[in-house]
Structure 1
Amino acid sequence: MNSVQSALLIEDVRLTPLLVADPPLLNTQGVHQPYTPRLIVEVVTRGGVTGVGETYGDTAYLDLARTIAGALPGHPVSHVNGLAHLAEQVCGGSPTPDEGVDAAGLRGVRTADKLRLSVVSAFEVACLDTLGKAVGLPVHALLGGKVRDTVEYSAYLFHRWAEHPAGGERDDWGAALDPAGIVAQARRLAGEHGFGSFKLKGGVLEPDLEIAAVRALAEAFPGRPLRLDPNGAWSVDTALYVVGQLGGLLEYLEDPVSGTDRMAEVAARGGVPLATNMCVTTLPEIAGAFARAAVQVVLCDHHYWGGLHRTRELAAICRAHGVGLSMHSNTHLGISLAAMTHVAATVPELHHACDSHYPWQTEDVLTARHVFDGGRLTVSDAPGLGVELDRERLAALHRRWLDDDGTLRERDDAAAMRRADPDWVTPPVPRW
């Protein structure tokens, strides 16, 4: 082994769990907690180069990350294709479904495989960031090169409260619990960030109220792409009713019902493109969904799929089957947004603006926040991801995690809702 190869061996891995402020955004399961757990991964080479990655920070993810981190020293930072296999070897276990448990993202049935891939994604991004810095290339170049200089993002709209019922950081957004509130929210996001398309998180209010919100958006922003995502909260009949009411106003309807069977029925009868980040989140789920034309748009997410390379593989499969592609988002910081932007820049057929929660996140661990211009992010050509950790902010958000009694270290939207309504029970599916 020569000196260059030796310098690219992993010397150390650092894991820093955080609690990050999150607004009181509503979904069908409840409300976001005042703080959400995230995990920052740092990979350090023998040559002294450090790269960063990010993923979910709940205990199940953190435990897997600690096991994988212990196995990485001595491995070349460039061997990202072997990360998933290494993780499976050292973590053990089979992908046994845990019915009815959400994996911190309203993503359908939780399995050991999904958890493992979500953790692997952070290590893969950290390794690519490290390798890019070591050789002087941006991450998009390591993925084959960018095909666009900017990536478009969509405004993510939420029904929300003005503040958390107990604790948490305050903001100046106010409540949004009716069509007027949603339109006001959209106007502010468009004004501050230039977004040209809008996605409403549904499944919160009765369907007629959410229909009214979409109609109000269509009137306020004529001709702009609109999306509605009730996270599988509706029955087939309700989904078809909504489609009948909204007609051609929707760019696509995201996960109106739960499961491939119901999605296929709505797709066949509804006449509106259906998107998903719930019934297609792993490779084995693709064949049945595509064969039955259950989805017309897949919302990729490098956390779910195990990294940036696997996201590109998913994009190729979608292209081969004539299925559209966009990008899903969950509560994330700037490291994940940088990774999302790099991989999105390399995908030729990115048919729709990508989702991002980032405008809702007031805290970050970077020295400089990402800035949207006309709803777009410029793809960085700096080595690696093109971001730098703010060590002081990282330490402060980690101290918050250390000081927590464990209550907030697991994302639980239903538990957060019970702070306001002690009788709240996560609604059954379908909810309407």
Structure 2
Amino acid sequence: MKITDIKATTVTVPLEAPLRHSNGAHWGRFVRTLIEIETDEGLTGVGEMGGGGESAERAIAGLKPYLLGHDPLQLEQLRWKIMNPVASLYNNRMQLHAAIEFACMDVAGKFLNIRACDLIGGAVREEVPFATYLFYRYRSKDGSAGGEITPDEMVAHTRDLVARHGFKTHKLKGGVFPPDHDIEVMQALGAAFPGDGLRLDPNSAWSVEESIRVAKAIGNLNNEYLEDPAWGLEGMRRVRNAIDMPTATNTVVVNFEQLAACIRLEAVDVILLDTTFWGGLRQAYKAGQVLETFQWGASVHSSGELGVQLATMLHLGAALPNLAFAADAHYHHLTDDVIKGGKMPYRDGRIALPKGPGLGVELDRDKVAEYAELYRELGGYAYDRDPARPDWYSIAPEQRYADPKAGAVMPW
């Protein structure tokens, strides 16, 4: 089997409401690039990566000389062709490789009539648990959703998500407002959902000292871990040594060199594995095997997915024997998807592993066309900027926080 063509299509899919985080905001939609490879067997594989537009599509097109004629079953050759470590010093292709690897694993699974997870050892579970992903949100353009800031509003938002999807673990994306505000929200969540697991992730907005103070202030709660409170392996190591709860990261351990350093330093307890950030489903799974060997915690990270990347996350979660924590997903914030059958359903806080061969999902051509046109109409957005604070930019750990009394209105 040989690759005969590869193409990229940028789409943008609306969110229920804009999502705020300490580094900026998602401005009411996700921008993603869909990758398709075609083969001489008449089979097509699909992948997905974050961001998009002309630059992403040109980057994929630029890899055609590496890919035309390549056998998609030869996944290790693919890794070295695209992610040669010396060449990558000049052109980091990690996320490009991830999207192409997804598509190759999809088409390989279809060719062999097996699932993507079977290419990395098979599934030890047929459904993956997920946590709520709670954001402070701006109001949607039509005013029908969003606007949550206060503890009561965040609790009400969580109750709605639990009623719709059945989540039993709740993760707050903090760092937007001063730390004491996040403390109040966490205490309110703990009171409203006794027995449920809690997580707080300020996206590295705090100093080491502030991180320690917050950890002690929420130490009475059922905390699964404190995620990326401070930046860097040394900062995270200092926090871990000073607090009584586990720590987690998806930002400072995203490759094997950093993983080795983390284990030597005993810097972070739980590593959140992202199929894109790690350069592919196989790389994330291999990292999970290292974590299993050293008895480190593992879970699945979300970088803002549509259904194709969600499928890769499900295959990873299904294959990891040491998946000790519910996975993350932005998925429930989307209003729609680009896969046939629409959005995958949550049942009791879990999503079932797709049943078909490969990734187990297929593109809905009408939806792809609709959201490609929407991207052409709206364009991209600056993830690291807050549209309601046009002169603001993030400085860590000297974060300039939003005012919780200022409301939650976008400059539509």
Change (3 A) 1:374 1:69: farther
Cα separation, 2, equivalents of 1:232 and 1:395: 37
Equivalent residue letter for 1:214: M
Q: Alpha-carbon deviations, 1:310-329, whole Å to 9, x = none?
A: 11110011112221001111
Query: Among the aligned pairs, what percent are the same residue?
Result: 35
Equivalent residue letter for 2:380: R
How many residues are treated as equivalent by the alignment?
396
**Counterpart position of 1:412:** 383
Change (3 A) 1:385 1:150: same
Change (3 A) 1:94 1:342: closer
Equivalent residue letter for 1:236: V
Change (3 A) 1:137 1:74: same
Secondary structure, counterpart of 1:302 in structure 2 = coil
Secondary structure, counterpart of 1:133 in structure 2 = helix
Change (3 A) 1:31 1:44: same
Map 1:295-314 → 2, pairs under 5 A = 295-314=268-287
Q: Alpha-carbon deviations, 1:63-92, whole Å to 9, x = none?
A: 432222443121111011122221246x98
Cα separation, 2, equivalents of 1:221 and 1:160: 21
Contact 1:58 1:410 in 2 (8 A): no
**Counterpart position of 1:84:** 79
Cα separation, 2, equivalents of 1:297 and 1:248: 20
**What is the deviation of 1:282?**
1.2
Change (3 A) 1:393 1:190: same
Cα separation, 1, equivalents of 2:36 and 2:310: 16
Cα separation, 2, equivalents of 1:318 and 1:360: 30
**What is the deviation of 1:197?**
0.4
**What is the deviation of 1:228?**
0.2
Map 1:183-332 → 2, pairs under 5 A = 183-249=155-221, 250-332=223-305
Please point out which of 319, 324, 338 is paired with 1:346: 319
Equivalent residue letter for 2:116: V
TM-score (norm 2): 0.91
**1:387 equivalent in alignment to 2:361:** yes
Cα separation, 2, equivalents of 1:38 and 1:400: 12
Contact 1:30 1:426 in 2 (8 A): yes
Please point out which of 13, 18, 21 is paired with 1:20: 13
Equivalent residue letter for 1:377: I
Contact 2:28 2:140 in 1 (8 A): no
Consecutive unaligned residues in structure 1, runs of 5 or more: 1-7, 97-111, 165-169
**Counterpart position of 2:349:** 375
**What is the deviation of 1:45?**
1.2
**What is the deviation of 1:386?**
1.5
Contact 2:102 2:312 in 1 (8 A): yes
**What is the deviation of 1:131?**
1.4
Cα separation, 1, equivalents of 2:118 and 2:355: 9
The runs of at least 4 consecutive aligned structure 1 residues that moved more than 4 Å come to 91-94
Consecutive unaligned residues in structure 2, runs of 5 or more: 401-412
Change (3 A) 1:50 1:171: farther
Contact 1:36 1:411 in 2 (8 A): no
Contact 1:332 1:358 in 2 (8 A): yes
Please point out which of 68, 71, 81 is paired with 2:66: 71
Cα separation, 2, equivalents of 1:301 and 1:197: 19
**What is the deviation of 1:171?**
6.5
**What is the deviation of 1:272?**
1.2
Task: Please say which of residues 254-263 and 63-72 is displaced more in the overlay.
Answer: 63-72
Contact 2:200 2:225 in 1 (8 A): yes
Map 1:114-133 → 2, pairs under 5 A = 116-133=93-110
Map 1:173-184 → 2, pairs under 5 A = 173-184=145-156
**Counterpart position of 1:152:** 129
**What is the deviation of 1:185?**
1.1
**Counterpart position of 2:395:** 427
TM-score (norm 1): 0.87
Cα separation, 2, equivalents of 1:235 and 1:32: 24
**Counterpart position of 1:3:** none
**What is the deviation of 1:412?**
2.8
Cα separation, 1, equivalents of 2:173 and 2:183: 12
Contact 2:7 2:61 in 1 (8 A): no
Contact 1:235 1:431 in 2 (8 A): no
Secondary structure, counterpart of 1:159 in structure 2 = strand
**Counterpart position of 1:10:** 3
Cα separation, 2, equivalents of 1:400 and 1:71: 31
Please point out which of 57, 63, 66 is paired with 2:51: 57
Cα separation, 2, equivalents of 1:303 and 1:223: 32
